[in-house]
Amino acid sequence: MNPKPLELIHHAADIRIMKFLNVLILLAAVVLSASDGVCGGINVTNTSVGTRDAGTGTAPINFDISWNNSWRSTDPGAPAPNNWDAAWVFVKFRKNGGDWAHASLTDTGHTVPSGASLDVGLVDTSAAFNIATNPGVGVFIYRSADGVGTFTKTGFSLNWKYTQDGVGVNDTIDIRVFAIEMAYVPPGAFFAGDNALATAAFRQGSSDTDPWYIGSESAITTGTQAGSGTGLGETNSEYRYVSNSNSGEDATGAVFTIPAAFPKGYQKFYIMKGEISQSQWVAFFNTLTTTQKIARDSTVSGKNSDNLVFGNNVSWTSGDATLPDQGGGSTYASVAMNYLRWADLAAYLDWAGLRPMSELEFEKAGRGPYRAVSGEFAWGSSLITGATSISNAGKSNEAPGAAANCVYNNSGGVQGPMRVGAMAHGDATRIESGAGYYGVMDLTGNLWERPVTVGNATGRGFNGAKHGNGMLTLSGDADVTSWPGTNTVGAGFRGGNWYDGASHARLSGRALAASTTTDRSHNRGGRGVRSAP
């Protein structure tokens, strides 16, 4: 990475420069209206399965796709060059009315209309394609040239190896094509930590508050050093761990190694634009078996109700889950999904062919390549304005009642998470809409994020190359062995939430980064990422 961007902003926040950068980033990335969602807003239409070829064992899965507020910017002079949004598209099928399963895609043979690009995502991005052991579990679809606005394309076909999935030529097939909005984070160096203002923020030494410099995906070994970097010296490779003394967390100054396989945010990756919405959760839930649904039923062990509670409107007793209309179209479909424990989030990500993010990737997605601003939130400033009321609660155009860039601190009439991306409006700047550097929304506030921690051995065992294969255990759990397990302590909490105060919401805040809590609560949600092909 060219080191020049790292020199544009030093420790002291130059708000004038930041404002200029914010405007450019938002114009190139997330110019949203109050009625547009940034997650779950993709329209997939005209889905069908084409003729099954008995000779090759393949069949085309056809569809058209469209979503608003798409962008691509490869201008090397832009503040966020080589950044774009994409749809992560994957397919579920069932044969002869049985259980839903995940479609295995080939690495070639897909039909891509003009103006679009397509990349196949494998289960293990560190290994070669193999239809039996490392198939395509989905594809990224994105613009093939720079542009901003609605992305609409017809005539996509994905090449499905149906025989690999136990389907015969004469079986009756139902399909569902799912799409999740993602943002691309390009490779490059960044800083983790905010000059030690946030709780337990990463720092270089006991006497050196400079943040960690992540200059590669190589292994990182922490130490007990006092630290020597000052000013531009923060690019030194010195790493001191700071603990908040969570149960099972390594102590401040502990010496350990973060393996090369642990995703550090230097390599390219995709991240969901927003947290999982309630409509996305219901779509996932309704493809599960009854046994799996019981395990993933978010209306118990936390919410304990099928009614609307703290913004959660999911209802399920049997059959399919629903989002009942609370009046005038208030279904809460676009509101972020809360009451998710770690096992719930991991199951969703495995089912979708995604993976958890690491806490280093979390900071990269918010900060980008620039130097840390002391006490900053995900939008690169220490300025924060909380929502105190909601307009059109639960509807597709839900928004704060007055100007705000975050939902935090249990404020006023906001008693739960809001619509994903609700803070974005018109030509709002990055600060005004609460956007991360690469166009990702709600990294600060709304619901707790669940990144995998570096603060204990379980978290450090996470392998970023391993993704979900689209299938769960019979009991409804994720089955990726290199992820923190359903009842382990490898994933903590970052980014704050609608209920807690600003100290938790800081981008580098790590008060609960290595927390052992695994239950469901009204302020817990999540999102997924994927190592880029």
Angle between helices 278-285 and 342-352 (to 10 degrees): 70
pLDDT at 366: 98
Percent of the chain surpassing pLDDT 90: 85
pLDDT at 236: 83
pLDDT at 501: 95
Give CA separation, 1 vs 25, 81, 188, 320, 402, in Å: 19, 12, 5, 48, 40
For tokens 């424990």, name the residue: 341
Residue 149 in this model has a pLDDT that exceeds 60: yes
- DSSP string covering 151-191, please? EEEEEEEEEE-GGGGT--TTS-EEEEEEEEEEEEE----EE
pLDDT at 12: 30
Instruction: For residue 7, name the pLDDT band (cuts at 50, 70, 90).
Output: very low
- DSSP string covering 488-532, please? SS-B--BS--SSS-HHHHSTT--TTTT----S--TTB----EEE-
Per-residue pLDDT tens digits for 233-260: 688 889 999 999 999 999 999 999 999 9
Residue 418, classified by CB atoms within 10 Å of its CB into exposed (0-12), middle (13-18) or buried (19+), is buried
Per-residue pLDDT tens digits for 160-198: 999 999 999 999 999 999 999 999 999 999 999 999 999
Per-residue pLDDT tens digits for 506-520: 999 999 999 988 899
The residue extents of the domains of the chain are 1-36+185-533, 43-184
d(CA 295, CA 3): 48
Per-residue pLDDT tens digits for 328-346: 999 999 999 999 999 999 9
Residue 232 in this model has a pLDDT that exceeds 70: no
